[in-house]
Chains A and B, each alone.
Chain A
Amino acid sequence: MADLREQLRAIIAEIAEIDDLSRITDDANLYKELGVDSMQALEIVLELEKRFNVAIPEAKLKEIKTFGDAVRVAKDAGAPD
């Protein structure tokens, strides 16, 4: 099983329809740089919750700005690294 970071990168690439995975760096802003919209962000979180069987609290969602933030929030929620 690929590690959390790679799996999350693949989820984001699929949902936001990003062909070049190398664009999804830790510092990449999901919204401004990768063009993720609010619905896609919600879909990413739901997919993440389902895949890793974790719950992401509402308050944590607002902390997610970059890909790195998303990895951290997933880890904090208990997703296996």
Chain B
Amino acid sequence: MSGTRRTAVITGMGAVCSLGLSPEAIFDAVIAGANGARDVARWHGEGLRITRAAVVDRDAVRAVLGASIGSSAHGNLEMPWASQMGVVAARRALIDAGRDGRLADTPLVASCTIGAPGAAEPPDKRWVAMDPTRPEALARYAEGAVVAYLAEAIHASGPVQCLMSTCAGGNYAMGAALDMVTSGRAKQVLAGGVEEVSTMVFTSFHQLRAVADTCKPFDVDRKGLLFGEGAAFLVVEDEEHAVARGASIRAYLLGVGYANDAHHLVAPDENGAGAATAMRHALYEAGVASAEVGYVNAHGTGTEANDAAELVALKTVFADDAPRLAVSSTKGATGHLMGAAGALEAALTTLALERGLLPQNVGLDTPVPDAGVDLLRDRPRKTTTDIALSAGFGFGGNDAAIILARRRRALPDIVTRPVYVTGMAALAGASFGVPSVLARFHTGATVSESERRVTFAPDAVLGKKGLRHVDRGAILWAAALERDLQSFPKVASERAGAVFGAAYPAYQQVVGIMRDYQSGGALNVNPMRVPFATANCAASWWLIRRGIKGYSNAVGSGECAGLDAIVTAAREIARGRVDELVAGGAEGELDELWQGLASIGWHRTLLTEGMGALALSSEPVGAWARFVDAEHAFERRRPSAAAERAVEGLLARLKLPLVDVLVTPRPLSLEAHANHVHVTTETLGDALGASSALAAVVGVSFLQPPKRTAAQVLVVSDSMDGYATAALFEGV
């Protein structure tokens, strides 16, 4: 089915980084050639070769922010630093769009790929007393918590989503907002990212020999990336809506393109294949010919590998037009904002088009000899170009590019397709595989201590090699898929992918990094932990094993993450960018995490290991169910009320008085909305972000012939941080 696409525009922008507290101030600093790197005094005396990063002036942010206390399941605590920067940028974007600083029921999509390690690092001290598993650290540390603090502070009550698609995450957030607007699901969306510099992550990257004290994008003498922090948000709005309310249109967001390298967890494909595919897809979706693009805001991290691969990709995509293509990376000035980079660069690219002035590559002295594109040097360049591309490529091989334009233009129609459930995978503690998990659920017996962990040997399922340093969540994810979804995908690998969800992604490695530090200082941190300390590592590792190159994304919306990943995947297939996705969540064992969470007391049953996933497809072959629709809501202090709102909103939109079966991980008062309610954690245990995906597996099993016991199933999850998701499936 194809339909006329609604047009997405940008009507407001806010940003914070080392160079300023607004996009305009940052842009002015960039074109003046400023470099945000500062010496970080607290890193002295650690034996580190480099102690510089593009950090933000905390006093300046606090002067704008005022009070910075927010609520959590552990009580009222100061917001993580990343959230504080996020609030300043988000409020500025809303005000710039002509609203007050409150979000209300407008959707929020925020990328954060590191979380808030600073919540576990005592201020002004080194890490000696730091404990990432203290409840007050746990309540603030994870990516989902960072976004929840931000959402609460700007009074969010509608859909809130946390994306963790590494350094391309800002572009994934822009893409999610684009889809909400072009499909008509939202009139306005606040999209962007936040990220903070922490001792822990800086030290890890330092040990990986990936950081430099100056970023020199595309220079023969480039030595690594400049660590940066900050936040950026953009209001993405339906054009008609913007015009009707007299808003000023800053730019048109024409398209997004994605790909997955399936090459290496921390190195790009040398041929830039994934990067090139993402850029091509973005151009295609925008209906823009490569010759029409007048500026590329490159990912340009200043690392040996990224810049080389990115230039190959640009030459591949732009071919004969490449030599006249103006290219710059703004990371030489701003530093690399990781999960916030794509959003900041979207804002800077919007300003470049608006002002007709292209930023130079700050830090570039001697361009690589065979660059093949027009690398902007020394000073900004005036331009009359209307169309720009902004690129983001992340760890794990996440690639995403967006197209921005100064003026409106006719856009190709979009397709919307049905999305079918064609398979599932699961493990719940000692129950391995879908039949075993479903049988365990139907016993109705309460989960016991002896069932908390998986009992199989990972190497018996995954082979003996290549398992060193692999995060436990990634092991569970891959093992269950290996067991239950051997034949995935049925389509070409370029049309398939995965969406991974977790509340505490890669926490085993994160805690490992902290323990390394505590036992022997910064130089004792084992950099081999880094690939498996990244939030998306489970999906990326499995996609590399399988050679699947179409799409990869990661979602961190607390305990909703697994279900939210399924919804995200369904929307992506419906939109036609990919044909088959595996989506769900996995959380591995970590005693310290379990103990810390138990002392918070929000989870009412035993915490367990778990993994749940659905295989979703645009083709009905082998399918027994269909994804119908979903709704999200957010309420920090009363997650159950958010869940109720999500259910009521979804059923009202679908004009359903009630459903046959409702499945939820934890007890919620939703009996009025269904004939039968099933709670999954009582029997399967609570596997945090995977619990909502396990609920989805149980839910769609009720639709499976020959014993189909329901026509429709509603899967609902709340979360400790206030996220809620409701998704409806029906039998086919």
Is B267 located at the chain interface by the 8 A CB criterion? yes
Q: Indicate with 1 or 0, residue by residue over B437-467, a CB within 8 angstroms of chain A CB atoms.
A: 0000000000000000000000000000110
For the complex, give the distance between the alpha carbons of A43 and B209 in Å.
11
Q: Which residues of A contact B305 (CB under 8 A)?
A: 38
Contact of A17 among B208, B265, B468, B526 (CB under 8 A): B468
In the docked arrangement, what's the CA distance between A58 and B211, Å? 13
Q: Which 10 A-B pairs have the closest CB atoms?
A: A17-B465, A43-B528, A38-B267, A39-B266, A42-B527, A39-B531, A42-B209, A39-B528, A37-B264, A46-B527
Residues of B within 8 A of A37 (CB): 264, 267
Chain B interface, >50% SS class: loop
Known: A37-B264, A39-B266, A42-B208. A17 touches B527 (CB 8 A): no
Residues of B within 8 Å of A39, CB to CB, are 264-267, 528, 531
Q: Are A17 and B466 in contact (CB under 8 A)?
A: yes
Distance between Cα atoms of A43 and B527 in the complex (Å) = 8
Report how far A58 CA is from B266 CA in the complex, Å: 19
**CB nearest neighbor in B for A61:** B209
What residues of chain A lie closer than 8 Å to B267, measured between beta carbons? 37-39
- Give the distance to chain A from B397, nearest Cβ to Cβ, in Å: 14
* Smallest CB separation, B669 vs chain A (Å): 49
- Within the assembled complex, what's the spacing in Å between the Cα atoms of A42 and B207? 9
B465 touching A58, Cβ below 8 Å: no
In angstroms, how far is the closest chain B Cβ from the Cβ of A21? Answer: 16
User: A37-61: which residues lie under 8 A (CB-CB) from chain B?
Assistant: 37-39, 42-43, 46, 58
Known contacts A37-B264, A39-B266; 12 further A-B pairs (Cβ under 8 A) = A15-B468, A17-B468, A37-B267, A38-B305, A39-B264, A39-B528, A42-B209, A42-B527, A46-B207, A46-B526, A46-B527, A58-B209
Interface residues of A (CB under 8 A from B): 15, 17, 37-39, 42-43, 46, 58
Chain A residues whose C-beta falls within 8 Å of the C-beta of B466 in the assembled complex: 17
Cβ–Cβ < 8 Å partners of A43 in chain B: 527-528
A70→B107 CA distance, assembly (Å): 55
Between A and B, 22 residue pairs with Cβ closer than 8 Å are: A15-B468, A17-B465, A17-B466, A37-B264, A37-B267, A38-B264, A38-B267, A38-B305, A39-B264, A39-B265, A39-B266, A39-B267, A39-B531, A42-B208, A42-B209, A42-B527, A42-B528, A43-B527, A43-B528, A46-B207, A46-B526, A58-B209
Q: Closest residue of chain B to A45, judged by CB?
A: B209
CB distance from A49 to the nearest CB of B (A): 9
Alpha-carbon distance between A17 and B267 when the two chains are bound, in angstroms:
20
Interface string of B304-330 (1 = CB under 8 A from A): 010000000000000000000000000
Cα-based distance from A15 to B469 in the complex (angstroms)? 11
Residue of A nearest to B524 (CB): A50
A contact residues around B527 at 8 Å (CB): 42-43, 46
- Chain B residues positioned under 8 Å from A46 (CB to CB): 207, 526-527
Q: Cα distance A79–B264 when bound, in Å? A: 32
Tell me which residues across on chain B come within 8 A of A42, comparing CB atoms. 208-209, 527-528
Nearest Cβ on chain B to A20's Cβ, whole angstroms: 13
A58 to B212, CA, bound (A): 13
Residue of A15, A39, A43, A58 with most partner-chain B CB within 10 A: A39
Residues of A within 8 A of B468 (CB): 15, 17
Measured in the bound complex, the distance between the Cα atoms of B342 and A70 in whole Å is: 40
Assembled-state Cα–Cα distance A58/B304 (Å)? 13
* CA distance in complex: A18, B531 (Å): 21
For the complex, what is the distance from the CA of A76 to the CA of B264, rounded to whole Å? 32
Interface residues of B in 188-230 (CB under 8 A from A): 207-209
- List the A side residues contacting B526 at CB < 8 Å: 46
Which residues of the partner chain B approach A38 to less than 8 Å between Cβ atoms?
A: 264, 267, 305
Instruction: Give CA–CA (A68, B207) in the complex, Å.
Output: 25
A49 and chain B: residue at smallest CB distance:
B523
- Min CB distance, B302 to chain A, in Å? 16
Docked complex Cα distance between A17 and B467 (Å)? 10
Q: Nearest Cβ distance between residue B264 and chain A, in whole angstroms?
A: 7
Alpha-carbon separation in the docked complex, A15 to B264 (Å): 16
Could you mark each residue 527-554 of chain B with 1 if its beta carbon is under 8 Å from any beta carbon of chain A, else 0? 1100100000000000000000000000
Q: Measured between C-beta atoms, what is the minimum distance from B354 to chain A in Å?
A: 40
Distance in Å: Cβ of B632 to nearest Cβ of chain A: 37
Q: How far is the CA of A42 from the CA of B668 in the complex (A)?
A: 50
CB distance from A15 to the nearest CB of B (A): 8
Q: How far is the CB of B308 from chain A (nearest CB, A)?
A: 13
